[in-house]
Chains A and B, each alone.
Chain A
């Protein structure tokens, strides 16, 4: 089955690291994604990880995948005010669609 869960809110101080967590249930997931949505905009693909990887780093972003626990996290280093947005975790299987979590609203305070 498909069920992706995320915490709903995260508040972080500018310059600190943010960590957003996500759990999923479908063990046949092929790719796992992180998307960012700013107010009034569509979804921006931030990064993704293939299910046979443990970690992926892309500039300020680090994705960690624990396949045994079905746990995915996104770490944003040196969080800036422009990182304030809603972040969605999503999984894909082999049925041509993504299943999304409810989204984590990240607020960056000065």
Chain B
């Protein structure tokens, strides 16, 4: 069974641009979650989706948004990028419930210059 797939693996953007990250969950998994990992703040929860509905959102500004498609694939978008948005963005999937037995992808390393 293929694991969680995230694309792209690396991304370099400049301040003010926007970015879209993609995540394909493990086949059969319907919940997709996103986390931001930085050296200073550690792992911070962004949002969780199930059946195209956002069930929970972390404490991030409105520039961070996401969505889930009917095939459970998910995207997250960050608009008006800031230097502090540089981070590893991790996607995770689980069968039904974000927070239960999450399996993570390798992440997208975003650098904002």
Find out whether the CB atom of B90 lies under 8 angstroms from the CB atom of A98: no
Find out whether the CB atom of B43 lies under 8 angstroms from the CB atom of A100: yes
- Other-chain contact of A44, B31, B42, B56, B104 (Cβ < 8 Å): B104
Find out whether the CB atom of A95 lies under 8 angstroms from the CB atom of B105: no
Is B8 close to A, CB under 8 A?
Answer: no
Chain B residues near A42 (CB, 8 Å)?
4, 6, 90, 104-107
Chain A residues near B33 (CB, 8 Å)?
96-98
Measured as residues with beta carbon below 8 angstroms from the partner, the interface class of chain A is 20 to 34
Number of A-B contacts (CB under 8 A): 61
Among the listed stretches B11-19, B60-68, B73-81, B93-101, which one makes contact with chain A, having 4 or more residues with CB under 8 Å of it?
Answer: B93-101
Chain B residues near A99 (CB, 8 Å)?
45
Main secondary structure, interface of B, reads strand
Q: How far is the CB of A58 from chain B (nearest CB, A)?
A: 14
Find out whether the CB atom of B104 lies under 8 angstroms from the CB atom of A96: no
Find out whether the CB atom of B102 lies under 8 angstroms from the CB atom of A41: no
29 A–B contacts from the bound complex (CB under 8 Å): A30-B100, A31-B100, A33-B102, A35-B104, A41-B107, A42-B4, A42-B6, A42-B90, A42-B105, A43-B90, A43-B104, A45-B102, A45-B104, A88-B43, A93-B99, A95-B56, A95-B99, A96-B56, A96-B99, A97-B48, A97-B56, A97-B98, A98-B45, A98-B98, A98-B99, A99-B45, A100-B43, A101-B42, A102-B42
Q: Which of A1-58 contact B (CB under 8 A)?
A: 30-31, 33, 35, 41-45, 48
